[in-house]
């Protein structure tokens, strides 16, 4: 068996989710080849070659792949992927965008968001907002899979010395182009890989009040997240949404502030090791999953918490 892992990267750095995907590939077993497709992505490719357990890195360095356009990337991956038993990527928004196209081009199913590998053809994935966990078996010759990072412990970013090989072919579907990006800038750790996450909900009342959570985040080295209600209300940007249809997080500590605990929110954070809830409504469903619940007005409790840390 040989497994093609599509790297998650921004041309200059390899995103940590790739390390979780390689871990999933290890669980399947077989030779692991990583594809880095991008533009001026030599640094990301070099980082990929050092990842433990990777035997080869393919680099497709071309303007056609610079912005990870799904139309172009999927043509490349479907073509290269023909020789592999499995094609894996992380279930981030890039993987979710291009991988189903790869599957359709190869006329195979995609298995989304796996959290466990049972065998080379059988995988475990949550559905119904995480309220049910399915074990699914694939009958396809090539398995196209997106991996939920929180399901697999990252392999080491160091220790490997894979050969790096250039891929000459350029696939440009010619139907899409990049227009612009407005990326959030933050010095805090990434939500999906942070070991502590503090999230705010509608109870925060406005975006300014999130500064209270940021102050705690800075003390704890935490990432800041939010509920859908907080994002919809415009308190914070969309990339902070945690939940069924946002980001999935599983930190050591998750602190939910002014969040009621709707099933769609729980779907994104109930895998956290320790959950703290601060809510003034003692009936709030979030308390059913919280290890430590504090029934309090957040406008008193949060500043007090910051001082106590």
Partner 1 sequence: MKVLVAVKRVIDYNVKVRVKADNTGVDLTNVKMAMNPFCEIAVEEAVRLKEKGVATEIVVVSIGPKTSQEQIRTALALGADRGIQIETDEEVQSLDAAKLLKAVVDKEQPQLVILGKQSIDSDNNQTGQMLAALAGMGQGTFASEVVVDGDKVNVTREVDGGLVTVGLKLPAVVTTDLRLNEPRYASLPNIMKAKKKPLESVSPADLGVTLSPRLTTLKVEEPPKRAGGIKVGSVSELVEKLKNEAKVI
Ligand X SMILES: Cc1cc2nc3c(=O)[nH]c(=O)nc-3n(C[C@H](O)[C@H](O)[C@H](O)COP(=O)(O)OP(=O)(O)OC[C@H]3O[C@@H](n4cnc5c(N)ncnc54)[C@H](O)[C@@H]3O)c2cc1C
Site for ligand X in 52-91 (CB under 6 A): none
Shortest Cβ distance from residue 152 to ligand X (Å)?
A: 22
Smallest gap from residue 209 Cβ to partner 1 (A): 17
Minimum CB distance to ligand X, residue 227 (Å): 3
In the chain, what is the straight-line distance between the N-terminal and C-terminal CA atoms, in Å? 50
Is residue 130 within the footprint of ligand X (CB under 6 A)? no
Where in 181-240 is the site for ligand X (CB under 6 A)?
201-203, 227-230
Number of other residues whose CB lies within 10 A of the CB of residue 171:
20
For the chain, the residue count is 309
- Could you give the CA distance from residue 119 to residue 85 in angstroms, rounded to a whole number? 13
CA torsion 192→197→200→206, rounded to 10°?
-80
Q: Does 28 bind partner 1 (CB under 8 A)?
A: no
Structure tokens at 54: 């990777």
Single out the residue of 31, 35, 29 nearest to residue 14, CA to CA: 35
Q: Which does 147 bind (CB under 5 to 8 A by kind): ligand X, partner 1, none?
A: none
CA 198 to CA 188: how far, in whole Å? 12
Q: Considering CB distances under 5 to 8 angstroms, the limit depending on partner class, which of partner 1, ligand X, none binds residue 31?
A: none
On the 0-12 / 13-18 / 19+ scale of CB atoms within 10 A, 219 is middle
User: Interaction with partner 1 in 251-270: which residues (CB under 8 A)?
Assistant: 252-253, 263-264, 270
Distance CA 134, CA 195 (A): 27
Select from 118, 105, 108 the least CA-distant residue to 140: 108
Q: Residue 238 binds which one of partner 1, ligand X, none, with CB within 5 to 8 A depending on kind?
A: partner 1
Site track for partner 1 across 186-225, x = CB under 8 A: ------x---x-----------------------x-----
The smaller minimum CB distance to ligand X, of residues 71 and 239, is found at 239
**Interface with ligand X: number of residues (CB under 6 A):** 27
46 near partner 1 (CB under 8 A): no
Q: Cα angle vertex 22, ends 19, 28, to 5°?
A: 150
Report the Cα 7 to chain-centroid distance in Å. 12
Is residue 97 at the binding interface for partner 1, with CB under 8 A as the rule? yes
Residue numbers 270-289 binding ligand X by CB under 6 A: 279-281, 284
Instruction: Give just the sign of the alpha carbon dihedral 95, 98, 102, 107.
Output: positive
Binding-residue pattern over the window 122 to 141 for partner 1, x denoting contact by CB under 8 A: x---xxxxxxxxxxxxxxx-
Within 244-273, the residues that bind ligand X by CB under 6 A are 244-246, 258-260, 262, 264-265, 268
Task: Return the number of the residue (14 or 223) whose C-beta is nearest ligand X.
Answer: 223
Binding site for ligand X (CB under 6 A): 201-203, 227-230, 241-246, 258-260, 262, 264-265, 268, 279-281, 284, 297-299
């Amino acid at each position: 068996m040989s497994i093609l892992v599509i790297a998650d990267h921004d041309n200059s750095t390899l995103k940590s989710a790739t390390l979780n995907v390689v871990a999933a590939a290890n669980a399947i077993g077989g030779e692991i080849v990583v594809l880095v497709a991008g533009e001026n992505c030599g640094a990301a490719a070099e980082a990929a070659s050092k990842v433990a357990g990777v035997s080869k890195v393919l680099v497709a360095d071309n303007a056609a792949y610079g912005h990870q356009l799904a139309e172009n990337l999927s043509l490349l991956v479907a073509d290269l992927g023909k020789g592999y038993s499995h094609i894996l990527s992380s279930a981030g928004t890039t993987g979710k965008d291009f991988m189903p196209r790869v599957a359709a081009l190869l006329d195979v199913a995609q298995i989304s968001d796996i959290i466990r590998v049972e065998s080379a053809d059988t995988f475990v994935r949550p559905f119904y907002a995480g309220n049910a966990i399915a074990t699914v078996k694939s009958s396809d010759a090539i398995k196209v899979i997106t991996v939920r990072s929180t399901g697999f412990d990252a392999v080491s970013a160091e220790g490997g010395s894979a050969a790096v090989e250039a891929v000459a072919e350029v696939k440009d579907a010619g139907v899409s182009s990049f227009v612009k990006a407005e990326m959030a800038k933050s010095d805090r750790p990434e939500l999906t890989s942070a070991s502590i996450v503090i999230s705010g909900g509608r109870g925060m009342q406005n975006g300014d009040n999130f500064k209270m959570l940021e102050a705690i985040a800075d003390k704890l080295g935490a990432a800041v997240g939010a509920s859908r209600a907080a994002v919809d209300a415009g308190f914070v940007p969309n990339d902070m949404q945690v939940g069924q249809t946002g980001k999935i997080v599983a930190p050591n500590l998750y602190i939910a502030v002014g969040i009621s605990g709707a099933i769609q929110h729980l779907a994104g954070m109930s895998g956290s090791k320790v959950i703290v809830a601060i809510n003034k409504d003692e009936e709030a469903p979030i308390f059913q999953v919280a290890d430590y619940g504090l029934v309090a007005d957040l406008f008193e409790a949060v500043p007090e918490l910051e001082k106590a840390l």
